[in-house]
């Protein structure tokens, strides 16, 4: 890479954000991690090492997002890649979900990417270069956890809208939709007990053609592709990195007829 490109990863203190930051750093980018949890974000930046640094950012607050983006631009001058990864997941079903929980999920997972993307677009337009990458989910296809699924489906739709609107400035927008990711000890988006994790992992694996959970590296590899120069003509896509977990199950009798 002649020019050192800058990659901003939201939710950078979390399990996947760290993995994405580490992969993109290996690929030569300057990494900036942003998270609501400032001290965990600094720890994650130290773990990744090199010139990686953390900034505090609450993706649900326009002033917080705008001041964090200003600080990043003051320090490193550009933002080439934005990975909208910050997200929350509350196990819910529609009947029992309260309004506040619904609002919180949509605020972080959908409004957050809108605010962060809106804040970085002027710099990307000026550069005439940008890569917007959203972390969504295969969950929107299968039902279950309706507020979460709706927030991620909305983010896929925003991605298509960005792809359409920003192409004139050489800005692409794509989404990576993971299946269930192998949990990092101490970092579980669902705060499950080890027993609950085991049970839900078994269920996910039994429904996944490539009989395993996703690793952070699986997801980070797809992000690295969308971030790369060679993906410059790919925009408006959602790539499932889910081992086939997104596919409807085969007919119960399929194997009988083979």
Bridge partners of residue 9, in order along the sequence? 33, 83
**Least distance in Å: CB of 128 to ligand NAD?**
28
How many CA atoms does the CB half-sphere of 155 hold within 13 Å? 37
**Least distance in Å: CB of 3 to ligand NAD?**
28
Q: Dihedral angle at the C-alpha atoms of 101, 15, 116, 146, nearest 10 degrees?
A: -30
148 tagged catalytic: yes
Burial class (CB in 10 A: 0-12, 13-18, 19+), 223: buried
CB of 160 or CB of 169, closer to ligand NAD: 160
Closest alpha carbon to 13 in 55, 50, 44: 44
CB of 119 or CB of 129, closer to ligand NAD: 119
Identified catalytic residue from 29, 129, 148, 253: 148
CB of 185 or CB of 249, closer to ligand NAD: 185
**Least distance in Å: CB of 89 to ligand NAD?**
5
Q: Which spans of this chain sit near ligand NAD (rule: CB under 6 A)? A: 10-11, 13-17, 35-37, 57-60, 85-89, 108, 112, 135, 137, 178, 180-181, 187, 189
Burial class (CB in 10 A: 0-12, 13-18, 19+), 142: middle
Instruction: Give the residue nearest to ligand NAD (CB).
Output: 14
Please give the positions annotated as active site: 148
């Amino acid at each position: 890479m002649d020019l050192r490109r800058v990659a901003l990863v939201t939710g950078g203190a979390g399990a996947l954000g760290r993995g994405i930051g580490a992969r993109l750093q290996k690929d030569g980018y300057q990494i900036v991690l942003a998270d609501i949890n400032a001290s965990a974000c600094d720890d994650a930046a130290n773990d990744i090492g090199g010139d990686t640094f953390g900034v505090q950012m609450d993706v649900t607050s326009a002033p917080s997002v705008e001041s964090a983006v200003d600080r990043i631009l003051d320090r490193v001058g550009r933002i080439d890649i934005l990975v909208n990864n910050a997200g929350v997941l509350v196990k819910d079903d529609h009947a029992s979900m309260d309004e506040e929980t619904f609002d919180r999920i949509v605020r972080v997972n959908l409004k957050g990417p809108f605010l962060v993307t809106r804040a970085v677009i002027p710099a990307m337009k000026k550069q005439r270069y940008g890569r917007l990458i959203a972390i969504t989910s295969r969950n929107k296809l299968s039902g279950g956890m309706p507020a979460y699924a709706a927030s991620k489906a909305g983010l896929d739709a925003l991605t298509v809208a960005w792809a359409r609107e920003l192409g004139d400035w050489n800005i692409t927008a794509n989404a990576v939709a993971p299946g269930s990711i192998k949990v990092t000890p101490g970092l579980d988006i669902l705060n499950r007990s080890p027993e609950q994790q085991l049970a839900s992992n078994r269920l996910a694996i039994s429904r996944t053609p490539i009989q395993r959970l996703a690793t952070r590296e699986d997801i980070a590899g797809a992000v690295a592709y969308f971030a790369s120069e060679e993906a410059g003509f790919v925009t408006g896509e959602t790539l499932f990195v889910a081992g086939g977990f997104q596919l409807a199950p085969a007919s119960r009798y399929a194997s009988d007829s083979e």
